[in-house]
Amino acid sequence: MEVLELARWQFGITTVYHFLMVPLTIGLSLLVAGMQTAWVRTGNERYYKMTKFWGKLLLINFAMGVVTGIVQEFQFGMAWSAYSRFVGDVFGAPLAMEGIVAFFVESTFLGLWIFGWDKLPKKVHLACAWAFSLATMASAYFILAANSWMQHPVGIEMHEGRPRLTSIWAVLTNNTTLAAFPHTIAGAFAVAGAFLVGIAAWHLHRRSEEERVWRSSLKLGTWVGVVAFSALAISGDLQGKLMFEQQPMKMAAAEALCHTEQPASFSVFAVGDVTRPDCENVKSITVPALLSFLAHNDFSSEVKGIQDLVPMYQEKYGEFYPVDERLGELSGKPIDYVPALPVTYWGFRLMIGFGAISAGLGVFMLWLTRRNRTPTGWWFPALGLAGIATPFLANSAGWIFTEMGRQPFVVVPNPSGVDGVWMFTAQAVSQATPGEILTSLIALTSVYTVLAVVEVYLIRKYVRGGIPGVLPQKTDDGALAFAY
């Protein structure tokens, strides 16, 4: 196997695994802060118990997210050193802001929240929870700003063949970032909502003594999930319109749209071989003119197909890779501007489908538990627990589509920006041997597998332990020993 292929597998495996932790941390941190706010304002013991239980699961997930996330930035130097040299002047600013402004604040206030239950005034302790939650969102914003620059380079000038940052404000207010951030945060809330619903349903089925805690958690998770899915639809529509302007090939690949259409139909489902860019023998169930509306807010607009886009890309960015031994077997070969169509086409539909299933399951669970009812069948907790996976799968499918849909570019050219600001993925890898990359791939995958076992074990332990497993010991008279 070539270095490029191994490096892409390594980055894909570690990044997708890490992003399983990220949305749960973001969404759950804000929900836990809300639970604690409700307790401080009302003094209701139910909200205190919810804060302690869901807060414990948040801490486990956050710790695993930190451990798995550290590798991500190191990978730029390990397997993608040419890429690091190319984007380093731009990436340094948002990544430094993420580390200093966001992550340090996040870690500091999380520590105060963990150890301050019996030491800080109640409102100061609550402020720590909110500071940690908001810093988590800020951290996500800076990372998305860096990622969005790769999708749509802005705020730079070319100097000696490399982009040089001229405006950090342009990078932070990139329209791609402004669209990606609400979409990502909504996805995080969808994950956290399903997490609450699934675990609460399992405890309700067990007839736990803390029934009020689990019913409140289930209702909160359901409404959060439904609102999140609505926000995902709105923000996703905005992203689609930007994709049409900035990355037309990704738009065409998402639909397996091989030939230009006006108006263009939206493909709901395709039968046939979508791997071929000529779309022979592919039959689709379509919604007439919907793709035109999604692309340009107009039911009659034209959407370019793959067959017409390829010559346009070849004219702008070249037909062949440079003759360079560092490119391996791709040196001097024709550039394939068409992403992996099965990945982009089905990834786009899995993202939407799993998101819709998650929201639908949440509403169904709310209906099942109306008027304090609890179904007695085994299917009820099984359905709730299975529902936890759906927004995770939607998030993963969405990110795989976003990143693989821009291939063969690692830095996508801005069609209206500075000329020459792009980089092919084949040019971005380090000068390493296949054996070196394969060794790190095996090592990191093995470590992440061990961490997955640890994560599942700890989450399972505290979920099964329920409320008693996270509360302080009771006093002699049987009352809860509150932190304040």
Convert the pLDDT of each residue in 177-227 to its tens digit.
999 999 999 999 999 999 999 999 999 888 877 888 999 999 999 999 999
Task: Give pLDDT, residue 276.
Answer: 67
**Distant-in-sequence contacts of 316-324, Cβ < 8 A, 24+ apart:** 316/413, 317/413, 317/422, 321/424, 321/426, 324/427
Q: Classify the phi-psi angles of 318: left when phi > 0, otherwise alpha if psi is within -120 to 50, otherwise beta.
A: left
E-only strand ranges, 262-370: 266-271, 283-287
Task: Give pLDDT, residue 169.
Answer: 93
Residues 416-455, buried b or exposed e (16+ Cβ, 10 A)?
A: eeeeebbbbbbbbbbebebeebbebbeebeeebeebeeeb
Residue that is written with structure tokens 């017409």 in the block: 308
| Dist. CA 404–CA 341, nearest whole Å | 10
pLDDT band at residue 483 under the 50/70/90 scheme: very low
Residue 365 · residue 387 · CB < 8 Å: yes
- Whether the pLDDT of residue 475 is over 60: the answer is no
pLDDT band at residue 229 under the 50/70/90 scheme: very high
Cβ-Cβ contacts under 8 Å for 358 (sequence gap 6 or more)? 190, 193, 194, 225, 229, 387, 390, 391, 394
End-to-end CA gap in the chain: 60
Q: Which of 150, 199, 200 shows the shortest CA–CA distance to 177?
A: 150
- Please work out, in degrees rounded to the nearest 5, the angle formed at the alpha carbon of residue 274 by the alpha carbons of 333 and 283: 145
- Whether the pLDDT of residue 476 is over 70: the answer is no
Residue 256: helix, strand or coil by DSSP? coil
| Dist. CA 364–CA 174, nearest whole Å | 38
- Whether the pLDDT of residue 434 is over 50: the answer is yes
For the chain, what percent of residues have pLDDT higher than 70?
94
